[in-house]
Structure 1
Amino acid sequence: MRRKLPIRFGGIFYLHLSQWAIYRIVAIDVRSRREGRDLRKVGFYDPIKNQTYSNVSAILYFLEKGAQPTGTVYDILRKAEFFKEFRVSFDKKRKGKQES
């Protein structure tokens, strides 16, 4: 079963005439619909505070099972130094021009 770790919109919260979005990072089956059911919620990303809240054991579990993070989730986890800390090794597919 192929899995991905995409980012999903968590909602908009209003506070004193300001608003911000919080996104959740979830594990989904590749064969499910885009807005389909999540296998598991594995973290949150707050772009205003630039903070990542992640369930490390769940993310490691899905990465070991072959899940591929989307580009956005890969960048968020890289900024949180997730890959340096746990030395998870996998190849990130690069879109666009390939080096010759």
Structure 2
Amino acid sequence: MVKLHLRRCGRKQLYRIVAIDVRSRREGRDLRKAGFYDPIKNQTYLNVPAIFYFLEKGAQPTGTVQDILKTAGVFPEKELRFNQTQFT
């Protein structure tokens, strides 16, 4: 399974949004970079076609990436319910 999650990069608090296989390490080789997130400056860059591609193929975003996508307005709120009912 593929997940969209944050990978820390650099000494500062900068994060890349990457698509990565679940079986690989947390900081292992990614399939593709799909954007970055800077919480200090509150900046976000999203490669929306890459994100849509992986979501259509069945990738699951982590909770933090899901929140970033919501605040960026990529999806309406009701469409972005991937993992919420899976564990209840």
TM-score for both structures, normalised by structure 2: 0.85
C-alpha contact 2:7 2:18 (8 A) present in aligned 1: yes
Percent same amino acid at aligned positions? 65
RMSD (CA atoms): 2.3
How many equivalent residue pairs? 87
Structure with the higher fraction of residues in strand conformation: 1
1:45-64, CA deviations, whole angstroms, 9 ceiling, x for partnerless residues? Answer: 01122121011110000000
Of the two, which has the highest radius of gyration?
1
Partner AA of 2:42 in structure 1: N
Q: Which residue of 2 is the match for residue 72 of structure 1?
A: 64
Moved over 2 A (4+): 87-95
> Which segments of 5 or more consecutive residues in structure 2 lack a partner in the other structure?
none
TM-score for both structures, normalised by structure 1: 0.75
> Which segments of 5 or more consecutive residues in structure 1 lack a partner in the other structure?
13-19
Q: Which residue of 1 is the match for residue 81 of structure 2?
A: 91
C-alpha contact 2:13 2:38 (8 A) present in aligned 1: yes
Partner AA of 1:81 in structure 2: G
